[in-house]
Amino acid sequence: MDGVDSAELLARFILTRSHINWEEPAEPRLRAEAFMPHPHIALSVFRILGLAEVEILQIGEEVGRLRSKPLVGRGELTAAHVRTLGLDVKAKEPPPRHADIVGWPALTGTPKEDKSRQKLIAMQLVEGVRLVVATND
Amino acid sequence: MTTMAQNLPEMPATFSFSRAQGPDAQAVEAAFGEVRMAFLESQSLGGATRKSLASLTDTFLDCHRPDWDGYDALAVRPESYENARRFLESLGGLWPQPSVGVEPDGELAFEWFRGPRLRFSVSIGPDATLSYAGMFGTSTVHGTETFLDEVPAGILHHLHRLYRLPV
């Protein structure tokens, strides 16, 4: 694993409509659940700094294809934002540009208490996320 | 996600019963029967609660199989749905209705969102333990409560806190 510069932009690809609040169709909102790690205590993201929109979409479509799900959208955030919350970002290839958000509370002590900490961190993460809805959805 | 709320009071089209046989198929069919009964009972509730219950049912139906999120999420179990339904009903119409979500461990989540850094979320699974987290401006909380038949005082305290803050 390698470090990721704090200035880098990351994308979490969203493969279910359940992770987006559609109550206001003109202004859908990404839900914190999209940033909760499970069953792994690492969150899969891609490094997208400097990529054109079409290149980001290609990565997202490939992630969806490999997981047999449609691409619904993506949440974009910076590595710096991740680190302000005590987490870290580590490159983890293959596939190219893949990374993990790590440092989550493990569900080992009092699992439900640890889970509530994960909930709070996911909530804080999503505060700094920009949602991009896939236009082909 | 399907939009069952628009179909009320008709039964959602997704309640179909398969012809599969065997213990597993019977268990699944029994679980869906319970969901169907819960749906019918919800017709007697107020409009806002009924809409939330419809959203809860939609979410359960969308996520009752493993890997619903593409990242190996656990299935939402019928027991989790039942506990979430009881929790929602016990809230009554005293609070703004929460939006319904689902977490990758298969627990159902209710979120009250007022704006940036003003949100509170409670999730519940098959054992009826509530996990919660909230942001109230610069303050944050997280923890657990046990849900029996009433919304725990600790949860109500945080809802009070959320709704008395200026947006």
Residue among A18, A69, A119 minimizing CB distance to B121 = A119
- Asked whether the beta carbons of residue A120 and residue B73 sit closer than 8 angstroms, the reply is no
- Asked whether the beta carbons of residue B135 and residue A124 sit closer than 8 angstroms, the reply is yes
Phi-psi region of B128 (alpha: psi -120 to 50; beta: other; left: phi over 0): left
Residue among B62, B111, B121 minimizing CB distance to A18 = B62
Q: What is the pLDDT of residues A93-126, one digit of tens each?
A: 999 999 999 999 887 777 788 899 999 999 999 9
pLDDT band at B10 (very low <50, low <70, confident <90, very high): very low
**What is the predicted ipTM?**
0.91
pLDDT at A136 over 90: no
Q: Which residues of B10-44 are buried (b: 16+ CB within 10 A; e: fewer)?
A: eebeeeeeeeeeeeeeeebeebbeebeebbeebee
Total Cβ atoms within 10 A of residue A90 = 14
- Asked whether the beta carbons of residue A112 and residue B131 sit closer than 8 angstroms, the reply is yes
- DSSP class of residue A41? S
Report pTM: 0.83
